[in-house]
Structure 1
Amino acid sequence: MSDAFWPKGFRVSQVKPAFGNKLCSYTITLEAWRRGLNVKILDSGFDRFEISDSNKVVSFNRSRASLNSPEAVKNVINKQTARGYFEKAGVATPLGSKFSVSEGFSPIEKYASQIGYPVVLKPVSGSLGKGVITNIKNADSLLDDYNYLTKELRKNNIVLERHVEGEDYRVFVIGKKASAVVKRVPANVVGDGKRTIKELINAKNIIRKKNPFLSKGLIKVDREVLWYISYAGFSIDSILRDGEFLQLRGKANASAGGDVVDVTDTISDDVKKLAISAIHSIPGLFQGGVDVLYDSVSGSCNVIEINSRAQIGVNMYPTDGFGANVPKDIIDEIFPDSTRPKNQFYNRLIFDMKSTLHLIKNGVAKEITLTPPRYRRGGKIKSVMLTFEFDDDALLKGIISKAQALELNGKVETEGSHALILVSSSASRIGKFIAVVNSALQVEVSERKWKGTVCQGFFVDNRFRN
């Protein structure tokens, strides 16, 4: 899918360094920083950061704001505790119970018989769908899956719950708003009558690698995938008929290779209302990703769990449909007095995440406070690309020094005696810089508009550093 379908200002060229686990932190801080809010990065892994204005300071752990109380986070992590709050508030959720591995398999088997098959087995705590096994149809399968969780994944506490029908949805809720909704489809491939299942998986993974979020959620051929292939009567080397659909997993998590379809504007309001109710059923919970199973035919709707540190990339970078601008909604809700600049240049401006984190990682700094963006709110911004030949390194160093003195954003690229300078700033400063370049070279340089991503600061090769 073209990145034109993803939020403006957060497309591939803007977020490339943050592909995967750093997406939440980078996109949220980028939105706040562009608005002129204060941003402080607190660790080299970019898990923790602070955003503030003159009135308040809010700390974050990736997407989770400190407005979520520690007790609320603890209650959400424990799936059985969260179920209790759902039931108390009248939020529809599957019947289920918690079991300790020390009790053995017998109590789990007995409870499954009581609530009826099919059932779901999963760890009491966890994320990304790890260890979640759905649609278990009988006691023999339940024992196999129990052994897998306890012996291979070494889980000590397990939840067994009734399997409910419905398509899988992730609703990101902040405050009283359902910011974005996606339908999650289990990992799958569609045949073309030519390629094997293995080749189809590899081809799909190549496409996923281009997606800022899905790039870290490739389809891995593991125990579950091989079981689904075998259950359908195929092997990994089988060739599917043209158009034949093959599901590869039971769970629909994007991190496990699932597809993502944006349905924010088309999903039933009942799903959004239920998700909002689920968030507010947990005392002290302000935001989170709510997993809902919804059957559009029967209207049945059940909350499965809440992730208080949700991956907002799943809503921003769907496989199909338009991505939701979740960072905007987060900053709008938490800092309602902040506004986005009127000029559209801010959509192109980024800060250098890698260099910033490198300073903390190497012990140069314990934390980093970002310098405010270099643009005047509402002012006219000009970006140009200058190309020319030079025969004296000292001459080019002088030009670079002028760019830095004028506080231009941009970079210099050289190859032999050929120079390319990309610069962006107010129209008046760009005009001054171009005059300097023309005067220094005694010839008018080639100039054209530059519409690419602008990284704050002025970057030069080691060769031209003072």
Structure 2
Amino acid sequence: MIKLDLMATYYGPNPYSLEPVIVAQIQFVDVDTSILQQMCDSVVRYFPDWCESSATLEADVELAFARLASQWALSALTEVRGFLHQANAVRTSNGLRMYLGFHEAELSFRAMQLALRMMLKCHEPGFSLAAVRTALDGLWNLCRKKHPDYQATILMDAARQLKVPVLPYIRAVGYWQFGWGSRSRIFYESLSDQDSVLGTKIAANKQLCKNFFDNIGAPSPPFTMVKTVEDLPLAVQHVGWPCVVKPIHLGKGAGVTAGINNLEQLEAAFLNARTFSEHDILMESHIQGQDYRLTTVNGKLCSVVRRAAAQVRGDGVKSIRELVAELNQQRSGNLHRSGYLRVIEIDEVMQTHLAAQGLCLETILELGQVAVLRSNANVSTGGFLIEVLDEVHPDIRMMAEMISQALGLSIAGLDYISPDISQSWTVNRGAFIEVNSTPGLDVFLASGLFIQRVARELLGLETGRIATRLMVIAAKDLDRLERAIVSFPKPDHIAWVCGAQAGLGSLSIQCRSDQVWASIYMLLKIKQARSIVIAVSAEQFMQFGAPLEFFDSSIVQNLTLSSNWLTVLQKISGSISIVDSVPEEIFSLMLNESARANSDV
């Protein structure tokens, strides 16, 4: 029998990790080590991408088992969403401990439990990967709700390298804070708190966006709005053949049909768009040429990629259906592993596009013959990217930057079609199609760009930590300090937390959340906070982990922290002082030191 018990949830640096982790005790009761070794060998064989084979060489088989289970759980948690790194097991004087990073502690413990159940079965005859997949699907559905999506994880990856702290901003999934206090920015996907509300509204509505292009002189194809199928013959007289049909409020190529050449195709395209939206449908002239995505960051063009539609190349043997399946084997729900290229879905839109070429899913292409699977080249529908920034004509660069600055967008994705992007639209009828205010950051990775450079531009050089000072004292002394703090003078722009008391300057603020360290996280979200002073009990510190990943200076009351916890505090403090007693004046002194430091900046 193998028992797993949750021992602790640490929300910050702790003796096991400098990142938040859950810690569980694993016990082996009357388990043959040879059976454990078989389990270890089997899990590595079944899940080579998730588990390190070197772990099976560990002389301590129980420790090897626990480490593999932790690795498997981490991989399961981050397969579809998430940004976690910590997973291991250690043998301590109190027994064997597994630890695992978390966004939601309960979800990570569930992954641990699933890992153990899977490992207990994987060495048996008739072991079913399908059953494991069913259990994983349940876990992944929760991960999609609770974990940061791929947009957030790209920014988090850059922030981690730049040592910029990250916090959930509000309970709704998708809103993340980068940096603290006065040095913070809020992002939802790639949209930030510094983006213009009007600009995002214009970008979100294709009709408004087209009018905006016309108003600032940006080249854009003629368009009209269509309410019903009966309006199509008159509409096509305005835009001409070939044409494009699209809903006005959707992105990622949803409901879009391009290259329409006759009324029959037009009616089918309109009805397809209507299934996505009840609003009027936009119809515009089709611009011949390559499909480009121009991305600006802070008003400057930093990436231009040529987007190619999903396609397969024949080998003279396999059908188009088989070639798509073969291509999809290199793409998965794990976007990082698949180079941020999406799985190509076989649907009615694809089959209609193939039929227009005289093909179907069962067609066997000749050797070297290419079949384009869709009329649009969006990455979200299986397209791929080629970086061409150095080829862009100066007119196109200037107009793209003018558009993004006029809209007030810190990041913008502009769709542009042209036969040759090295030529101005005055030469070859190139045109801007639309603007996306939340462009996928994966475009940089999929095209081979160095995301840290782009993310640094997006996050801004000012995004980062504010000054932090920590006091760790005995619980009885913290109670005394809480009562005394009411009379302390508190400088403006200094956030402070003392036990259950919290505020900004002279303003006391009540925290309504029962989350661990909630009052600290609350104050770090206040833009006026230029520094923060925190007093916590040693008991809380050791029960929940350090409240933050770094402190500029720390004061700790002697003999309140065990040696391993004192070591943790030393690792995360710029400087540390150990004092025998903590007079109330020390906290007041820390507040005033923070105020002086701010005035020197």
Using the size of structure 2 for normalisation, the TM-score is 0.51
1:335 and 2:460 equivalent?
yes
1:291 corresponds in structure 2 to 415
Q: Residue type matched to 1:112 in 2? A: V
User: Does residue 174 of structure 1 match 2:305?
Assistant: no
Instruction: Please tell me whether the aligned partners of residues 312 and 372 of structure 2 are also in contact (alpha carbons under 8 angstroms).
Output: yes
Contact between 1:28 and 1:331, CA under 8 Å: does it hold in 2?
A: no
Matches within 5 A, 1:140-179: 140-150=264-274, 152-179=275-302
Q: SS at 1:265's partner residue? A: helix
- Contact 1:38-1:372 at 8 Å conserved across structures: no
Pair 324,132 (structure 1): closer, same or farther in 2 beyond 3 Å: farther
2:188 match: 61
Cα RMSD between the aligned structures?
A: 3.4
Q: Is the 1:166–1:300 Cα contact (8 Å) retained in structure 2?
A: no
CA distance in 2, matches of 1:82, 1:153: 19
* Alignment: residue pair count: 344
| Structure 2 counterparts to residues 228-239 of structure 1, below 5 A | 228-239=353-364
Any conservation in 1 of the 2:307–2:379 contact (CA below 8 Å)? yes
Determine the C-alpha separation between the residues in 2 that align with 1:27 and 1:375.
26
Are 1:82 and 2:209 matched, yes or no? yes
CA distance in structure 2 between the aligned counterparts of 1:333 and 1:27, rounded to whole angstroms = 12
* Equivalent runs, 1:136-285 vs 2, <5 Å: 136-150=260-274, 152-209=275-332, 211-212=335-336, 217-282=342-407, 284-285=408-409
Identify the residue that residue 415 of structure 1 maps to in structure 2: none
Determine if contact 1:172/1:312 at 8 Å carries over to the other structure: no
* CA distance in structure 2 between the partners assigned to 1:38 and 1:160 by the alignment: 45
**Residue 323 and residue 145 in structure 1: after superposition, are their counterparts in 2 closer, same or farther (change >3 A)?**
same
Output the CA distance in 1 between the equivalents of 2:270 and 2:151. 34
SS in 2 for 1:242: coil
| Correspondence list, 1:271-420, <5 A | 271-282=396-407, 284-296=408-420, 299-318=428-447, 322-325=448-451, 327-332=452-457, 334-337=459-462, 406-407=567-568
Give the TM-score, by structure 1 length: 0.65
Q: CA deviation at 1:190?
A: 0.6
Residue identity (%): 22
Equivalent position SS for 2:294: strand
| C-alpha distance in structure 2 between counterparts of 1:90 and 1:268, whole Å | 17
Cα displacement (A) at 1:373? 5.4
Q: Distance in 1 between matches of 2:548 and 2:449?
A: 27
Asked if the contact 1:36/1:373 (under 8 Å) is kept, the reply is no
Instruction: Find the counterpart in structure 1 of residue 247 from structure 2.
Output: 123
Deviation for aligned residue 1:375: 12
Matches within 5 A, 1:36-75: 36-43=163-170, 46-53=173-180, 55-75=182-202
In structure 2, distance between residues paired with 1:375 and 1:137:
65
8 Å CA contact 2:159–2:166 kept in 1: the answer is: yes
Give the counterpart letter for 1:173 in structure 2.
Answer: T
Q: Deviations over 1:122-169 (max 9, x none)?
A: 11111111011111112222112222222x334322111111112111
Give distance in 1, aligned partners of 2:565 and 2:260.
64
* Larger RCO (alpha carbons 8 Å, 6+ apart): 1
Measured in 2, the distance between the counterparts of 1:404 and 1:202 equals 52
Distance 1:185 1:402 in 2: 59
Q: CA 1:17/1:137 → structure 2, altered by over 3 Å: closer, same or farther?
A: closer
How far apart are the structure 2 equivalents of 1:254 and 1:205?
A: 14
Cα offset, 1:255, TM superposition? 0.6
Instruction: Please name the residue that 1:114 is paired with.
Output: 238
Residues in 1 aligned to 2:563 and 2:352: alpha-carbon distance in whole angstroms: 64
Mark the runs of 5 or more structure 1 residues left unpaired by the alignment: 1-12, 341-362, 377-400, 409-424, 427-466
Whichever residue aligns with residue 228 of structure 1, its letter is H
Higher helix share: 2
Q: Is the aligned partner of 1:94 residue 2:221?
A: yes
Larger Rg belongs to: 2
Residue in structure 1 matched with residue 469 of structure 2 by the alignment: none
Shift of 1:26: 1.6
Q: CA deviation at 1:262?
A: 2.1
Cα pair distance change 1:160/1:39, threshold 3 Å: same
**1:402–1:293: structure 2 CA closer, same or farther, 3 Å change rule?**
farther
Indicate if the aligned counterparts of 2:306 and 2:387 stay in contact, CA closer than 8 A.
Answer: yes
